[in-house]
Amino acid sequence: MWPKEFDYVRASSVDDAIQQTSDNTDAKILAGGHSLLPAMKLRLSEPGKLVDISRLADLKGISANGTLSIGAMSTHAEIAASADVQQYCASLATACGMVGDHQVRNFGTLGGNIAHADPASDPPTVLVAAGATIHIKRSRGERSVSAEDFFIDLFTTDLEDGEVITRIEVPNLSGHKAAYVKMPHPASRYAIVGVAVILEMDGDTCKSARVAVGGATVSAMRASGAESALSGSSLDDAALNAAASAVQSDISDALMGDVSYPESYRQAMSGVYLKRAVKAALG
Amino acid sequence: MAIGKSKFRIDAPGKVTGETLYPADIDRENFIHAKVVFSNKPHARMKRMDLSAAEAVTGVLGIFTAADVPVNEYGLTMFDQPVMVGVNATGRSKVPSDVSRWEGDQVAVVVAETPEAAQAAAEKIQIEWEDLPLVHDVWDGLKDDVLVHPEAGTNAFKHYVIRKGAMDDGWAAADVIIEGRYEVPHQEHAYLQPEAAISYVDEMGRITIEIGGQWTHEDQEQVAHALDMPAEDIRIIYPAIGGAFGGREDMSLQIVMALASWKLYQKGETRPIRSQWSREESIIGHHKRHRAVVTTRWGATKDGKITAVEADVYLDAGAYNYTSNKVLGNFHLCVAGPYEIPNARIDSYAIYTTTVPGGAFRGFGAPQGAFAAESQMNKLADALGIDPLELRLMNCLHDESIAITQTPMPAGVSIRQVVEDCASASQWHQPLADAEPFQAFQSLAADKSNIRRGRGIACAYKNVGFSFGFPERCEAKIELYGSVEIERAVLYHSAAEVGQGTHTALRQMTAEALAIDYDKIEMVLSDTAFTGDSGSVSASRMTFMAGNAIKGAAERALEAWQNEDRPAVGQIRFTPRSTDMIDDVTGKGDANISYGYVAEVVELSVDIETGHIHIERVVCADDVGHAINPNLVVGQIEGAIVQAYGYAVTENLRVVDGRILNPRLSTYLIPGIKDIPLQVDSVLVEVPDPQGPWGARGMAEMPFIPLAPAIAAALHDATDVWFDKIPLTPENVIRTLRDNEKTS
């Protein structure tokens, strides 16, 4: 299908993009376009104007200096291949390397991905588990929000009209054990369920754990019950089974399903994949 | 010898290079465009239809509805469907025209200068409907409080019986009785090429349709009937066809395109019309493999001899018969399996519902029947402590057997041979070897502790050729050119090349029959203006029937050649031995010409935490009688197994309130290259069919049939749980395992 007719402008700066989208509520920011354009072709989204920010140098680049800073217009392929990301938060590199196919990863951006907030996409789940911070610019200055609070619901974020995501900041998790595992949909490869775990270990004991779930839920979300079940345990079978039960309760109010993979199955799989994520994290 | 060799497919170069044109590829400068409008109403009566806004759209050339159809009825074996649903129908019809009984009923065909104009006009057709209550499924249908076809008097419009022996004796002799209830799903054909056609009036004044189908002459007859014209005024041509599998047996665009061309021609519009369905329209707009429920009970002695079988079959026919009455017949026989059954009571019903019609699909009722029968055999073997292979050998049919229809089996019964060959090729008597633990997905390390391995067996039979008294026929004509030597021969034949390789086989068989060089054979194919009635490519019949027709035509042509005719022409309408409709009270009757036989062993792993199934190996022993082209036979076996894997494991058509919820390939999941069995070993068994040409036997459907029950048996071997409902999606597997934990 073809999208409805629209205007296209290339923003000259972040402020210009903010200006153009603040003045016109019918305008939408265009990043890599790999979420927005399909939605437009299906007429799920019909903006009158696209403001292209994909070439703004300010929004590009990855740097690691105490924390990891990823420009919003970094592509999935750049993130997946970045030595800094590998070092600070390897499971984010894993997740970005699982998005779509080569074409999508070469063009789609992390900023665009999280602004779109597809519940079955991989990077949001890792960002929530990692405790990432989203930095946002708007006409009256800048603000930041935690990834956990950023993702609100199905395709719904904390982002408002006239705001642009500038960068995503991720803490240095190089000392942690972490993993992201998912069951990909056979046709789309989107996550039927995706689980990210980040474990702070003290010898054989899990000092603290962060767990996030996506795919099975309307948005990427933290699973605090599962975190409690893992924290302080030796991650033995009993602890893993307890965490597998807990994660199913954690997400029970936010489940999502489709004709092939109903909610009940995805809920059950969140437990299975949590266990497998922990095992994968421990190597 | 031209047969028995793996000649390259003659259609391959054109298809690989893109030179061959499928209906949707044909491009003519002066095309005008048609759009078929579906009712989108599972059950509703049309009160009013207003075309004025649609007709006012710029570029619209004509909109045709039920009111324009001379004989507004359609059906391959029963006229129970209007060509189009609508008001003001004046043509004669046995079926009321104003009721939509399925969301895919057609209500109009719009012809316009451009596809966009046709689409725009289609959206502007105003229809007022009165919704009618839905008949969701067979249980709803059996209540008969809402009739899909009030004129039929009941929704259960077809009922077959088998009454054989004495059931009391059968149960009394049984040491073990196994009861089962089996559910089998719809299946979408998902052929590569969605429906497309072009239509025009040719230079001889014939209304001409170029389309992908399975039987040119049936298309011709159906169009002629609806247009109330002699068949010779209708011409059907098949260009390249992108798959069929039974899904092109019924009409899609044939009748409405013919109607549009004819109506416009009368107004002086002679440009050819083109139309094409999207994938969604294809999935909504054509029939499916029937979903069904079987309840059944089998008894056997402790030595493993079957003493009694009873079964009740409930087939969801959907809104119209299509070929349900015929599919039900095959199902009815196959639900007792290829075994000697001394005592049997079987009742099978086809039931109208307001859902997508069921119709022809590779196997034609046999896969559904075999799922019940073979699962019962595997459960019996388990209960008796007898190897399931041995139990089959103890009970299988042979040449002296009396069939379930109480008539002698046609000679050449080879079920024992295929079972034994399958067992030996699969090393059935050796312990199942370990396999690498499978890694369902790249992100997920294989976890050996959750993987269970298992192996299962199933076998099956199915008729070859039209059955239950439906007239068989296959025409062929051969012309021989030359003076002293035959320099070239031309075969005229209608067999539809749907990708199975039939045209290559025809050429091989013609060369063989004439004993001349393969390269000297030319062919004129699939055009009712030149080629005779071949019957359909279905029922695994074309090699069998066409081979016999070619042999007959070649014999006559060679005789004419001896008589110095130049060109020498031989023509024949081959008819095999006739069959009977089975008796209404006893089910007795010689229902089938001949049978094909097959056995399969499946080796698989299952992840008991996620429900993912991974098939390491399928061994298929298929009796093909005489392999005309061994590579094409192997291609049929591998293709059937992939398609059956989809049926058994991944494909899950969801129909809710009369609507298909997943009419696209992103949500209706056919298997991909990474899903399918890792290895398929095709064992070509060659027990000659005494009626087949050079002993060849129909084979194309057989490998589909036993796969689902063989997978279910392997899953039981792996998990100790029986799976009586397919598809075996991860969700179904997990749910069944958990339900079993609760009850055990």
Which CATH number goes with the domain that contains A29? 3.30.43.10
Amino acid at site B452: R
Q: What is the CA radius of gyration of chain B?
A: 26
Tens of pLDDT, residue by residue over A161-194, are: 899 999 999 999 999 999 999 999 999 999 999 9
Bridge-partner residues for A196, per DSSP? A180, A212
Q: CA of A196: which chain B residue's CA is closest?
A: B443
Average pLDDT, stretch B548-568?
A: 98
pLDDT of B688 > 60? The answer is: yes
Chain A interface includes B673 (CB < 8 A):
no
The verdict on a CB contact (< 8 Å) between A187 and B444 is: no
Give the single-character DSSP code of B674: T
The verdict on a CB contact (< 8 Å) between B654 and A259 is: yes
Tens of pLDDT, residue by residue over B315-344, are: 999 999 999 999 999 999 999 999 999 999
Q: Which residues does chain A have within 8 Å of residue B654's beta carbon, measured at their own beta carbons?
A: 259
Higher-confidence position of B445 and B383: B383
B409 Cβ neighbours under 8 A, 6+ residues apart: B397, B398, B399, B401, B402, B403, B595
Second-level CATH architecture of B31-132? Alpha-Beta Complex (3.90)
Q: Which residues does chain B have within 8 Å of residue A181's beta carbon, measured at their own beta carbons?
A: 443-444
Assign residue B228 a region (left: φ > 0; alpha: ψ between -120 and 50; beta: otherwise): left
pLDDT of B437 > 90? The answer is: no
B283 phi, psi to nearest 5 deg: -70, -40
pLDDT of B166 > 90? The answer is: yes
pLDDT of B278 > 90? The answer is: yes
Average pLDDT, stretch A195-223?
A: 97
CATH number, domain at A244? Answer: 3.30.390.50
pLDDT of B438 > 80? The answer is: no
Q: Which residues does chain B have within 8 Å of residue A268's beta carbon, measured at their own beta carbons?
A: 734
The verdict on a CB contact (< 8 Å) between B441 and A183 is: yes
Q: CA of A180: which chain B residue's CA is closest?
A: B443
pLDDT of residue B446: 62
Bridge-partner residues for B197, per DSSP? B211, B275
Least confident of A21-25, A89-93, B251-255, B541-545: A21-25
B564 Cβ neighbours under 8 A, 6+ residues apart: none
Angstrom distance (rounded) from CA B436 to CA B729: 22
Of the residues A17, A36, A52, the one at which a domain ends: A52
Q: How confident is the model at residue B434 (pLDDT cuts 50, 70, 90)?
A: confident
The verdict on a CB contact (< 8 Å) between B650 and A186 is: yes
Tens of pLDDT, residue by residue over B728-744, are: 999 999 999 999 987 76
Average pLDDT, stretch B207-230?
A: 98
Return the CATH class of domain B12-16+468-574.
alpha beta
pLDDT of residue B440: 64
Q: Which residues does chain A have within 8 Å of residue B730's beta carbon, measured at their own beta carbons?
A: 261, 265
pLDDT of B693 > 70? The answer is: yes
Percent of chain B exceeding pLDDT 70 equals: 99
ipTM for the predicted complex: 0.93
pLDDT of B441 > 70? The answer is: no
B703 Cβ neighbours under 8 A, 6+ residues apart: B598, B600, B620, B622, B636, B637, B640, B641, B644
The verdict on a CB contact (< 8 Å) between B669 and A186 is: yes
Spell out which chain A residues touch chain B, with contact meaning CB-CB distance below 8 angstroms. Answer: 94, 98, 180-184, 186-188, 258-262, 264-265, 268-269, 272, 276, 279-280
The verdict on a CB contact (< 8 Å) between A259 and B669 is: no
Angstrom distance (rounded) from CA A61 to CA A79: 9
pLDDT of B108 > 90? The answer is: yes
Q: In terms of Cα–Cα distance, which of B560, B549, B550 is closest to B482?
A: B560
A196 phi, psi to nearest 5 deg: -115, 135
For residues B43 and B131, is the Cβ–Cβ distance under 8 A?
Answer: yes
Helices (H), chain A: 14-23, 36-41, 76-81, 83-98, 102-107, 110-116, 123-130, 147-150, 224-230, 237-250, 263-282
| Counts of helices then strands in chain A (DSSP H, E) | 11, 14
Burial class (CB in 10 A: 0-12, 13-18, 19+), A283: exposed
pLDDT of residue B384: 98
Q: In terms of Cα–Cα distance, which of B491, B600, B478, B471 is closest to B541?
A: B471
Angstrom distance (rounded) from CA B676 to CA A186: 12
Which domain, by its residues, includes A161? 57-170
The verdict on a CB contact (< 8 Å) between A272 and B667 is: no
Q: How confident is the model at residue A108 (pLDDT cuts 50, 70, 90)?
A: very high
The verdict on a CB contact (< 8 Å) between A265 and B731 is: yes
A186 Cβ neighbours under 8 A, 6+ residues apart: B650, B669, B672, B675
Q: Which residues does chain A have within 8 Å of residue B734's beta carbon, measured at their own beta carbons?
A: 265, 268
Angstrom distance (rounded) from CA B493 to CA B24: 23
Which residue among A94, A98, A265 sits closest to B730, beta carbon to beta carbon? A265
Angstrom distance (rounded) from CA B376 to CA B654: 27
Angstrom distance (rounded) from CA B70 to CA B255: 11
pLDDT of B121 > 90? The answer is: yes
Gap from A280 CA to chain B (nearest CA, Å):
7
Angstrom distance (rounded) from CA B23 to CA B193: 9
Angstrom distance (rounded) from CA B694 to CA B723: 41
For residues B257 and B199, is the Cβ–Cβ distance under 8 A?
Answer: yes
Chain A interface includes B667 (CB < 8 A):
yes
pLDDT of residue B398: 98
Of the residues A170, A190, A216, the one at which a domain ends: A170
The verdict on a CB contact (< 8 Å) between A186 and B731 is: no
> A61 and A85 share a domain?
yes
For residues B314 and B142, is the Cβ–Cβ distance under 8 A?
Answer: yes
Q: Pairing between strand B44-50 and B126-131?
A: antiparallel
Angstrom distance (rounded) from CA B532 to CA B217: 8
Q: CA of A1: which chain B residue's CA is closest?
A: B278
Q: Which residues does chain B have within 8 Å of residue A187's beta carbon, measured at their own beta carbons?
A: 665-667, 669
Tens of pLDDT, residue by residue over A57-74, are: 999 999 999 999 999 999
For residues B324 and B358, is the Cβ–Cβ distance under 8 A?
Answer: yes
Q: CA of B729: which chain A residue's CA is closest?
A: A260
pLDDT of B4 > 80? The answer is: yes
A86's tokens: 């590998």
Burial class (CB in 10 A: 0-12, 13-18, 19+), B472: buried
Q: Which residues does chain B have within 8 Å of residue A191's beta carbon, measured at their own beta carbons?
A: none
The total number of residues shown for chain A amounts to 283
Average pLDDT, stretch B372-396?
A: 98
B437 Cβ neighbours under 8 A, 6+ residues apart: B446, B447, B448, B451, B605
C-alpha dihedral sign at A33, A38, A41, A46: negative
Bridge-partner residues for B48, per DSSP? B128
In chain B, which residues fall in CATH 3.90.1170.50? 31-132
Residue A2 maps to a domain: no
Segment holding B555, helix H or strand E: helix B542-562
CB atoms within 10 A of CB A139: 12
Task: Kindly report the average pLDDT of chain B as a whole number.
Answer: 97
> A248 and A146 share a domain?
no
Number of domains in chain A: 3
Q: CA of A194: which chain B residue's CA is closest?
A: B443
Percent of chain A exceeding pLDDT 70 equals: 100
Chain A interface includes B654 (CB < 8 A):
yes
Degrees, nearest 5: CA angle A51-A53-A57: 155
CB atoms within 10 A of CB B202: 12
In chain B, which residues fall in CATH 3.30.365.10? 12-16+468-574, 292-467+583-743
Q: Which residue of A185, A272, A278 to mutate against B (max B Cβ within 10 Å)?
A: A272
Residue A1 maps to a domain: no
Q: Which residues does chain A have within 8 Å of residue B447's beta carbon, measured at their own beta carbons?
A: 276, 279
Segment holding B717, helix H or strand E: helix B707-719
pLDDT of A106 > 80? The answer is: yes
Burial class (CB in 10 A: 0-12, 13-18, 19+), B693: buried
Return the CATH class of domain B292-467+583-743.
alpha beta
Tens of pLDDT, residue by residue over A228-264, are: 999 999 999 999 999 999 999 999 999 999 989 999 9
Q: How confident is the model at residue B443 (pLDDT cuts 50, 70, 90)?
A: low
Average pLDDT, stretch B191-197?
A: 97
Q: How confident is the model at residue B445 (pLDDT cuts 50, 70, 90)?
A: low
Average pLDDT, stretch B151-159?
A: 97
Angstrom distance (rounded) from CA A161 to CA B320: 53
Q: Which residues does chain A have within 8 Å of residue B665's beta carbon, measured at their own beta carbons?
A: 187
Chain A interface includes B131 (CB < 8 A):
no
The verdict on a CB contact (< 8 Å) between A265 and B735 is: yes
> A104 and A160 share a domain?
yes
Gap from B661 CA to chain A (nearest CA, Å):
8
The verdict on a CB contact (< 8 Å) between A181 and B652 is: no
Amino acid at site B120: A
Tens of pLDDT, residue by residue over B650-661, are: 999 999 999 999
A176 phi, psi to nearest 5 deg: -95, 160
C-alpha dihedral sign at A99, A102, A104, A107: positive
> A136 and A227 share a domain?
no
The verdict on a CB contact (< 8 Å) between A183 and B444 is: yes
For residues B333 and B591, is the Cβ–Cβ distance under 8 A?
Answer: yes
Give chain A's largest Cα–Cα span: 60
B574's tokens: 């081959």
Q: In terms of Cα–Cα distance, which of B598, B161, B178 is closest to B406?
A: B161
Percent of chain B exceeding pLDDT 90 equals: 96
Gap from B662 CA to chain A (nearest CA, Å):
7
pLDDT of A1 > 80? The answer is: no
pLDDT of residue A42: 87
pLDDT of residue B442: 53
Please report how many Cα atoms fall inside a 13 Å half-sphere around the Cα of residue B309, on the Cβ side. 32
For residues B460 and B337, is the Cβ–Cβ distance under 8 A?
Answer: yes
Gap from A185 CA to chain B (nearest CA, Å):
9
The verdict on a CB contact (< 8 Å) between B443 and A98 is: yes
Angstrom distance (rounded) from CA B732 to CA B726: 8
Residue A263 maps to a domain: yes
> A114 and A214 share a domain?
no
> A81 and A134 share a domain?
yes
Of the residues A170, A200, A230, the one at which a domain ends: A170
Q: In terms of Cα–Cα distance, which of A153, A145, A142, A154 is closest to A127?
A: A145
pLDDT of B556 > 90? The answer is: yes
pLDDT of residue A283: 87
pLDDT of residue B90: 87
> A71 and A148 share a domain?
yes
Residue A137 maps to a domain: yes
The verdict on a CB contact (< 8 Å) between A180 and B610 is: no
For residues B352 and B135, is the Cβ–Cβ distance under 8 A?
Answer: yes
Q: CA of B735: which chain A residue's CA is closest?
A: A265
The verdict on a CB contact (< 8 Å) between A272 and B610 is: yes
Angstrom distance (rounded) from CA B55 to CA A216: 48
Gap from B128 CA to chain A (nearest CA, Å):
27
